[in-house]
Structure 1
Amino acid sequence: MAEVTIGALGLGREPLAPFACDFRRSRGRLVPEPESPTRTAFQRDRDRIVHSSAFRRLKHKTQVFIAYEGDHYRTRLTHTIEVSQIARAFARALRLDEDLTEAIALVHDFGHTPFGHAGERALERCMDGAGGFDHNAQSLRIVTALERRYAAFDGLNLAFETLEGLVKHNGPLAGPHADPAHGLPRPIADFDALFPLGLDRFASLEAQAAAISDDIAYNTHDLDDGLRAGLIGIEDLEALDLAGSILREVRARYPGLDASRTIHEIMRRHITAMVEDVIATSGAAIAASGVRSIEDVRDAGRTLIDVSPAMREAIAQTRRFLFANVYRAPRVMAVMGQAEQVVEDLFAVYVSNPQKMGAGWRDDAPAMDGLRLKRRVADYLSGMTDTYALAEHRRLFDVSPELR
């Protein structure tokens, strides 16, 4: 039988741009492994991410609305798939590596807690003085240590480029281009000392494409979910430059269209408008920058995958609208307040009595010092789904909220 190779299968697709990540020049993995004869390094990473336990748990983790609210709202899993679809469109248009882009998009939310940002706020308070909690750093912990599937290593042993994209998709974490408002999370600093990720440089265009796809997805779909939840009405969109103009366009073209189809038309055109803006803006920025290699991208001194100034203001306006009318709506805030209490209650119980944690987490916990024990509890709690966290709370406490 003839040997099957990556080249024979045509897995490289059309030629990549010179500034894209080339799997043949990957910086490798923390634990060296033989190359696959049928998959590129980035395809292999994507497959490991999809088959991980952390990926499966995303289906029962809150995006904005908890599972009890209804079956049609986004979860972390559906959001992640939507981000991945948008990111691949950018990679295809700009001739980037689609598999690396997809891998980064699929892994970007691994570190999120149960109950979305409410759970993260609670864990941040619980871990104050104990190294803190950051969902991006937690994603790195999951893929480098906490996933226990392979005989030869802990984590998923992802390629440098995937880890770099996971950690730096929102920009450098050290040096002059880092956001001064955010310090370097301890888990990222510790791993960087072992396997340097170039924290002072920008990430690949593949990572930048995944990051902006996240913004596009949640700006659009949180509007959609807010409408479905009845927190906002279609008429409220009139006040928004982007969604309002699309609403008027849809009504002019389809007078008398029912509300459900009107909402869908608005949302799909909302995404399309932002995607087309990013492709045009980013293509021009890449050309003007003169980057000719991935190293040029890392040293470009700025993000190259971006929206136009006009679109940036429209997105900021949408975000302000969502905060005022959806994220901070009394109904949502009341439920999220209860969710924060659930996480804080569980944290306190597990720290005071580690034996109440699940098998595999409690075995050596009693011998740990205070800081290590708190990190163990944070790892355990952050990996929980909404449903499991509530079940644990009901098991350990006489009274538990319904979160409705």
Structure 2
Amino acid sequence: MPEHTRGRLKAEPESPTRSVFQRDRDRIIHSGAFRKLKYKTQVFVYHEGDYYRTRLTHSLEVAQIARSVSRTLGLNEDLAEAVALAHDLGHTCFGHAGEEALNESMLHLGGFSHNDHTLRILTRLERRYADFDGLNLTWETLEGVVKHNGPLLPELPGHTLPTTIREFQDEFDLELGTNPGMEAQVAAIADDIAYNNHDIDDGLRAGLFTLDEVAELPLLGGIIRGLHDRYPGLERQRLIHETVRRMIDHMVTDLILETRRRIAEVKPQCAADVRNAPRALVAFSEEMRAHDRVLRAFLKQRMYRHYKVNRVTSKTRRVVSELFALFMAEPECLPTEWQEDLEVLKESVSAGAQEKARARLVADYIAGMTDRFALAEYERMFDMESKT
């Protein structure tokens, strides 16, 4: 419940008309990072078509599913929505291809992960308020965003916490080794439901596979056969939409039933019981998990590794890698405000830490780019005829 929040890192007066989680959600929606999701890749780069999902439309679809599920389960809808809307803020331009390229460039300089960068945005990079950097969100929202895919366990061999999460943990203990709260668990599976279904929709629209091929998948086959029986001769686009909406309904219904079963089994009395449970309480049934694995394998082979997608991925990786190398070698090419931040860094870190600090700042700059800005910046930096 909002009244039981563990509060914010910096105390501030709360609103008389909105709960703490409503305010978190509103701050996320009004952030610059959220607006930029409109032109950040989900699978297809923005200029490939107006109907393909972007990070913004994906986040809105995740939030809708998370809110609906939370309402049915009696959870806090505003907290679930806040986590869902924030979970992808840290993604770079060009989706996972951009993240992989940036991480490769940063491999010996602290690495890069979108989850870590999301926390960086929420706690440092958004500079809108007079009293603090970041959005000063509640403990529950920050915990949910950082742990929405499960506990972070730095004690495992070969596993270290990402830089921002490790540093923030010293200030505001997010109990990284425990399960996330129920609302964050809902947001995580809402993410899976949303991208599986909209990737089927986008893949069919792009012609990467056919409805006949999709009909061979266990979960989708029965849905499509039922639609053919009920609506003979239904036009293709309506058939695709009806298939996707029914698949979302099947997955959401299964999620609610299995979650209720697990709640009845564990009988949690408080949020601590949820966090310390032996496994996540929000989950698909074993049968749906099997269907989900088949669907993911199909999408991985037929969509994410399709040669047309690979070609664009190859291009966009080079854009990110070459921009990073350029700005590291010639930081004087950064925009004025970023050069000013770099000068502040030089004064605040030791000589031995200068390279890592510069790399993180360059990564911040590139990760904040939209697809179209990154392409324009690449042209400005590498095309002699381009105006700067």
TM-score (norm 2): 0.95
1:308-351, Cα deviation, whole Å (9 max, x unpaired): 00100101100000011000000000111000000001101111
The amino acid of 1:394's aligned partner reads E
Report what 2:150 is aligned to.
Answer: 171
Residue 88 of structure 1 corresponds to 67
Contact 2:153-2:159 at 8 Å conserved across structures: no
Q: Tell me if 1:386 matches 2:365.
A: no
1:364 Cα offset (Å) = 3.8
Partner SS for 2:340: coil
Contact 1:80/1:109 (8 A) holds in 2: yes
**Would the aligned equivalents of 2:154 and 2:160 in 1 still touch at CA under 8 Å?**
no
After superposition, give the CA deviation of every residue in 1:204-237 in whole Å (9 maximum; x if it has no partner). Answer: 0000000000000001100100000000111111
Whole-angstrom distance in 2 between the partners of 1:348 and 1:305: 42
| Paired residue type of 2:311 | A
C-alpha separation between the residues in 2 aligned to 1:58 and 1:182?
Answer: 30
Q: Which runs of 4+ in 1 moved over 3 A?
A: 180-183
Identity, % of aligned pairs?
Answer: 53
Determine helix, strand or coil for the equivalent of 1:239.
coil
Tell whether 2:335 aligns with 1:363: no
Give the partner amino acid of 1:370: E
CA distance in 1, matches of 2:102, 2:19: 37
Conservation of the 8 A alpha-carbon contact between 1:60 and 1:385: yes
Of 189, 196, 200, the residue aligned with 1:219 is 196
**Which residue matches 2:288?**
311
For the 8 Å contact 1:355–1:363, the answer to whether it is kept is no
Q: 2:84 aligns with which of 102, 105, 116?
A: 105
The residue type paired with residue 335 of structure 1 is V
The one of 186, 194, 213 equivalent to 2:171 is 194
- 1: CA distance, partners of 2:108 / 2:293: 33
Counterpart in the other structure of 1:77: 56
- My pick for the range that moved more, 359-368 or 78-87, is 359-368
Question: Size of the alignment, in residue pairs?
Answer: 377
Q: Which AA in structure 1 matches 2:39?
A: H
Unaligned runs of 5+ in 2: 347-353
How far off its partner does 1:301 sit? 2.2
**Could you say if the C-alpha distance between residues 392 and 199 of structure 1 is closer, same or farther in structure 2, counting changes exceeding 3 Å?**
same
**C-alpha displacement of 1:182:** 5.3
Q: Which residue of 2 aligns with 1:44?
A: 23
Residue 322 of structure 2: aligned partner: 345
Once residues 64 and 182 of structure 1 are traced to their aligned partners in structure 2, the CA distance between those partners, rounded to angstroms, is 28
Specify the alignment match of 2:131 in structure 1.
152
Q: Distance in 1 between matches of 2:161 and 2:291?
A: 30
Counterpart amino acid of 1:127? M
Q: Would you say 1:277 and 2:237 are equivalent positions?
A: no
Per the TM alignment, residue 243 of structure 1 is displaced from its structure 2 partner at its CA by: 1.3
The equivalent residue for 1:301 is 278
Q: CA, structure 1 residues 351+169, in 2 after alignment: closer, same or farther (shift >3 Å)? A: same
Equivalent residue, structure 1, for 2:349: none
Q: Which residue of 2 aligns with 1:203?
A: 180
- Aligned partner of residue 360 in structure 1, secondary structure: helix
Write the deviation string for residues 128-148 of structure 1: whole angstroms up to 9, x where unpaired.
Answer: 011110100000000000000
What is the aligned partner in structure 2 of residue 120 from structure 1? 99
Displacement of 1:263: 0.2
**Partner residue, 2:45:** 66
1:381–1:296 CA distance, 2 compared to 1 (3 A): same
| TM-score, structure 1 normalization | 0.91
Distance 2:267 2:335 in 1: 53
Could you say what the CA RMSD is over the residues aligned between the two structures, in angstroms?
Answer: 1.4
Give runs of aligned pairs for residues 325-340 of structure 1, distance below 5 A.
325-340=302-317
For 1:183 and 1:337, locate their aligned partners in 2 and report how far apart those are by CA, in whole Å. 29
1:288 aligns with 2:273: no
The 5-angstrom pairing of residues 246-285 of structure 1 reads 246-285=223-262
